Amino acid sequence: MYFRVFSFIVLVNLVFPCLAFAQTDLNTDLPLLFQTGFEPTTRFTSAEYPRFAGKDETLNEKNDWEADIRRLAGSFAVNFTGGDHSQRFAEIIPEPGNPDNHVMHFQINEGWLNGNSRLARAQCELYGIRTGLKEFRQTVRIYLPEEMNEVKKFPRPISWLTILEIWNNITWSQSVPFGFRITLGMGKTAADESDLIFILDAEDCELFENGRQRYTTVWADKNQNIKVPIGEWFTMHYHFKEGDAATGRFIVTIETEKQGKQTVFDITNFTHCTKDPAPDGVTEFNPFKLYTSKDLADFMKDRGKSLRIYWDDFKLYGK
């Protein structure tokens, strides 16, 4: 009997590597590190390499883009990796249809050439976190406008429309070993018109001397049952805990007015490089991201539409 149970557990973990029988405990009382509602006292210092400035006076603590971020990390800025303002931009604006509220808006109008790569990217970079985060969670409200329904008509499956990326460790520095990332995005599995779903994966990365990278999937998942809300605000919450196959944890939930709170992913598996003998927490991640192929960006452009996403009410907790 013992052998049969043991064999079953081994089989399940081989076939479904994201699942584990032992659930790790999560700290629901993590300290607040930073928060913002992007209200009018928050601003960008420039258009081409936007850095945040100001203080969200609607909040009473951990709300200063300069003082609080300096204590937390080296930088918190927007990066496009090429292109120009006509092709992509980020802005802090009144919420469409609700001018009393302010939000951050990413828009990509077309792809662009950067070296040998063709890109379509806008991302916030919270880099150089002074003490690596072993456990953290983020809450943010997200809105995808109605024109994002056009993405459903893209004539191929979509496996790459990233909205969040966590690096543990970064994969672009020769001085940093044991590269690893968790990527959360949206996509579709069919070439035919179909709803967008959430997709998630984790990868080890080997960095070679010539700068070439080789990613190896550690685990991956997609939720076919919960559709990405379009045309309505939803709150996305995720919780990260650093650990190995038995102790690592990554949970994603969304909440809408119509559907309430739904668990999209609940993963127990590696949340650091599988080869790292002494993981020391996350020091870089992209809490807001809109990144996809040039083909998808140009598909939208050909139809007179853009890739767009709005962000609001960001809170980050961790230690």
| 90-107 confidence digits (pLDDT tens) | 999 999 999 999 999 999
Neighbouring C-alpha atoms within 13 Å toward the C-beta of 184: 26
**Separation of CA 4 from chain center:** 40
Residue 296 lies in a domain: yes
Q: Which two tokens stand for residue 139?
A: 């809450």
Which of 111-120, 122-131, 258-267, 299-308 is predicted with the least confidence, judged by mean pLDDT?
111-120
Q: Are 317 and 170 in contact (CB under 8 A)?
A: no
DSSP β-bridge partners for residue 78? 124
Residue 81 lies in a domain: yes
The full 3-state SS of the chain, as one line of letters, equals CHHHHHHHHHHHHHHCCCCCCCCCCCCCCCCEEEEECCCCCEEECCCCCCEEEEECCCCCCCCECCHHHHHHCCEEEEECCCCCCCCEEEEEEEECCEEEEEEEEEEECCCEEECCEEECEEEEEEECCCCCECEEEEEEEEECCHHHHHHHHCCCCECCEEEEEEECCCCCCCCCCCEEEEEEEEEECCCCCCCCEEEEEEEEEEECCCCCEEEEEEEEEEEEEEECCCCCCEEEEEEEECCCCCCCEEEEEEEECCCEEEEEEEEECCCCCCCCCCCCCECEEECCEEEECHHHHHHHHHCCCCEEEEEEEEEEEEC
Q: What is the pLDDT, as a whole number, of residue 28?
A: 83
Residue 143 lies in a domain: yes
Q: Are 61 and 32 in contact (CB under 8 A)?
A: yes
Residue 253 lies in a domain: no
74: left (phi > 0), else alpha (psi -120 to 50), else beta?
Answer: alpha
Cis amide linkage into residue 269, ω under 30° from 0: no
Number of domains comprising the chain: 1
With 70 as the cut, is the pLDDT of residue 261 above it?
yes
Residue 255 lies in a domain: no
Kindly report, residue by residue over 177-235, the tens digit of the pLDDT: 999 999 999 999 999 999 999 999 999 999 999 989 999 999 999 999 999 999 999 99
Burial 61-76 (b: 16+ CB within 10 A, else e): ebbbbeebbeebbeeb
Close Cβ partners of 94 (under 8 Å, ≥ 6 residues apart): 100, 101, 102, 103
Give percent above pLDDT 90 in the chain.
Answer: 87
Greatest Cα-to-Cα distance within the chain, rounded to the nearest angstrom: 67
Q: What is the pLDDT, as a whole number, of residue 20?
A: 46
pLDDT confidence band for 23 (50 / 70 / 90): low
Nearest to 265 by CA among 255, 254, 251: 251
Residue 82 lies in a domain: yes
Q: Which domain holds residue 200?
A: 31-233+275-318
Q: What are phi and psi of 54, to 5 degrees?
A: 95, -175
Rounded to an integer, the average pLDDT of 23-46 is: 91
Q: Are 202 and 218 in contact (CB under 8 A)?
A: yes
Residue 22 lies in a domain: no
Residue 24 lies in a domain: no
Rounded to an integer, the average pLDDT of 55-83 is: 96
